[in-house]
Amino acid sequence: MDAILNHLKALQPLLVLAMAYIKVVPAYLQATWQTAQYFYEPKLAAIGGGIVLLCLLLRIFIGGIGGKVIRLAVYCGLFYVISHNQEFRLLFPEASVGYTIAAIAVLGLWLPVTLLGGLVRMLRGGGRSSVAMAAGGGGAAAAAGGQPYNVVRREDESKKIQVIMMTDIVGYSAKMEKDEAATFALLKEHNTIMRRNITTHRGKEIKTIGDAFMVVFQSPLEALRCGISMQKDLRAFNKPRPVNDHLKVRIGIHEGEVIVTEKDVFGEGVNIAARMESITDPGGISISAAVYEHVKGKVEAGFQSIGIPKMKNIANPPEVYRVHVT
């Protein structure tokens, strides 16, 4: 439910635009009909259909800044061709009217293509990377029982050894169900604390879904120091507040091989970090043996091995250490 609510909030700007679009439908339909008369020949109609298909394919398959630039160029080119067409200018001799009608026609193409293409992109796993996390059930804890990072492999992928941190607020869904407004305000405080520490310790935020953070670091020591600082800041935040308003966060940190793309990091290393987070005590930190070897004796914290816990769909799970923050 949290994942659905977050996706609806993300779509809010498009919904607002869609409502405005609906309000001008009568005028738009009339202008569209007049403009469509330009495509009275089969050849030109085929060209128009090809342009629509091209725009849709660009929306589905090309993301990122490059994709936006390409699509913008296509729409600007379409606007230029329509507004400077001889028959179109005869139909709308006044320049300001002609440009307005051409802009409405391009907007009329852009909105449905954006909505439909975005939906198809999401369904095929090529939309926001947080959708992949949502498939796990709304957070890193759900990742302990499934494969939430099932992202389609692409040509721009590369394998790297990186340090992955997964975080999750304990009882977030229950808090949200009980008092959505108060919990959302609490979430904003949580995000501020987490992002401040991520920046301070040179981490890179990969994605969030609801209350869960996924962060990568180049150094295991920086990752653990970041986690310790997060927990200390959260304790300071909780101290003057009622127990019901406390923020309790679980943190899992693992160093392992991951698959890196332009916008995402996934693979077994991520799944191990997620499973470690899910078995961590509220307000605690768990690290893998690989991280422990780099940080022992270098931080003011105690470590306790809990052995090698079973991790679903992980053939060789690592030894896990609890971190006792002083």
pLDDT value for 104: 81
Q: H-helix or E-strand containing 250?
A: strand 249-260
pLDDT tens-digit map of 90-141: 767 788 877 887 788 788 778 888 888 777 776 765 444 333 343 333 344 4
pLDDT value for 41: 61
Q: Please check whether residue 75 is in contact with residue 55, taking contact to mean a CB–CB distance below 8 angstroms.
A: yes
Q: Please check whether residue 200 is in contact with residue 254, taking contact to mean a CB–CB distance below 8 angstroms.
A: no
Q: How many whole angstroms separate alpha carbon 198 and alpha carbon 130?
A: 18
**pTM attached to this predicted model:** 0.55
The DSSP code for 92 is S
Q: How many whole angstroms separate alpha carbon 281 and alpha carbon 274?
A: 14
Q: H-helix or E-strand containing 196?
A: helix 180-200
Burial of 154 (0-12, 13-18, 19+ CB in 10 A): exposed
The DSSP code for 84 is T
pLDDT tens-digit map of 260-313: 887 889 899 999 999 999 999 999 999 999 999 999 999 999 999 999 999 988
**Domains of the chain, start order:** 2-123 (no CATH), 130-325 (3.30.70.1230)
Pairwise pLDDT comparison (117 vs 63), residue with the higher score = 117
Backbone φ, ψ for residue 33 (5° rounding):
-65, -45
